[in-house]
Amino acid sequence: MFLRRKFLQTSAAGLASLFFNKKSFAAANTALPGYKSHPIIISTWDFGKVANAEAWKVINAGGNVLDAVEAGVKVPEADPKNHTVGLGGFPDRDGKVTLDACIMDGNLNCGSVAFLENIVHPISVARLVMEKTPHIMLVGEGALQFALANGFKKENLLTPASEKAWKEWLKTAKYEPVINIENQHYKKDGSQQLPGGPFNHDTIGMLAIDASGKMGGACTTSGAAWKMRGRVGDSPIIGAGLYVDGEAGAATSSGLGEEVIRTCGSHAVVELMRQGIKPLTACKKVVERIVKRNAAKAQTLQVGFLALNTKGEYGAFAIQKDFTYSVKSAAEEKVYEAESWFK
Ligand code: ASP
């Protein structure tokens, strides 16, 4: 009896200190069953590693999951050397940089902007759409007006390097956005080289669970290089480029957006996880659907999915090889290459 009472007192004190002290909860939660992988941040591509590190600072300090993913994806958005996200993104075929982004939490709160020009951080505008408007998605001129009304500044996003690459592309103006050529447009040190091929398009999609188990995700891109003016890809579309449901899991994508929109790709991955399917298999099943419905041209397509379930288990799968993703938790900080349909 004494022992039992003593045990209960000790556990209650232990639990109270865990729940009332966010920092110690974050530090100690690796020992709690079911929470062993929280907090965790995963994101698409090698450049996700530095973005994860920024998000980790927020989450590790006990911060909010949406603050973390927003801070994380702002890193590639602000990086002029990243030609597929934000500032310095490759323009459309008319030489204009147009950005797409969305953000979502595990309670299905979400916000999105598409075809937004001259704003370095579309993800922050998407967050404000979620928090300050009764809507989910603002596009083009309206999204810009909203951003300016909320204190964002207009900036020229077309850097000299991106303009040079666009002028190079104009010489042939061949538009065939069918596949990423990751291995050609990355140098060995992980930086991107110019222009690498006519189909450069890599989005950052980031998924996270904070110390308390809350899920969130963010996705931001300049979309397919040299796209038609007005083209919007999967990345800002809730359910296509990103989906988060705290009861089932979260998923994001990179690759040819048209195929992801057609299959409501990220939503499809999350619905499979809701049935108890592991993240890797869920991603694989949706990739398989895309491959089978495109039997004649699957060899020329690239789509990759990245997923995280509510336990903090993650997985990724792509049509082609060379789809990488970055993981950050207390236990690891790594870049992995996803399994792929074609080897
Ligand atoms: N999915 C993006 C789009 O189609 C591009 C990418 O991730 O590669 O706009």
DSSP letter string over 127-196? HHHHHHSS-SEEEHHHHHHHHHHTT--------HHHHHHHHHHHTT---------HHHHB-TTS-B-S--
Confidence of residue 180 (pLDDT cuts 50, 70, 90): low
Closest CA to 279 of 248, 312, 244, 315: 315
Is 56 contained in some domain?
yes
| Predicted confidence (pLDDT) at residue 336 exceeds the cutoff of 80 | yes
Domain CATH code at residue 212: 3.60.20.30
Percent of the chain with pLDDT over 90: 76
More confident residue, 9 or 337: 337
pLDDT per residue over 273-295, tens digit each?
A: 999 999 999 999 999 999 999 99
Ligand 1: distance of its center to the CA of 1 in Å?
Answer: 62
Give the pLDDT score at 13: 40
Q: How far is the CA of 118 from the centre of ligand 1 (A)?
A: 19
Confidence of residue 21 (pLDDT cuts 50, 70, 90): very low
The answer, yes or no, to whether any atom of ligand 1 lies below 6 A from the CB of 265, is no
Whether residue 144 lies inside any domain: the answer is: yes
Question: Considering the domain boundaries, does residue 18 fall inside one?
Answer: no
Q: Is residue 10 part of a domain?
A: no
Residue 185 has pLDDT above 90, yes or no: no
Q: For residues 326 and 37, is the Cβ–Cβ distance under 8 A?
A: no
- Single pTM value for the model: 0.86
Residue 212 pLDDT > 70, yes or no? yes
Task: For residue 249, tell me if it sits in a domain.
Answer: yes
Range of the domain at 274: 32-340
**Is residue 199 scored above 90 in pLDDT?**
no
Positions marked catalytic: 203
Domain presence at residue 19: no
Nearest atom of ligand 1 to the alpha carbon of 255: 8
Q: How many structural domains compose the chain? A: 1
- Look at residue 6 and tell me if it is in a domain: no
Instruction: With respect to residue 187, please indicate whether it lies within any of the assigned structural domains.
Output: yes
Q: How confident is the model at residue 15 (pLDDT cuts 50, 70, 90)?
A: very low
Whether the predicted pLDDT of 103 surpasses 50: yes
Please check the confidence at residue 11 and state whether its pLDDT lies above 60: no
236 lines ligand 1 (CB under 6 A): no
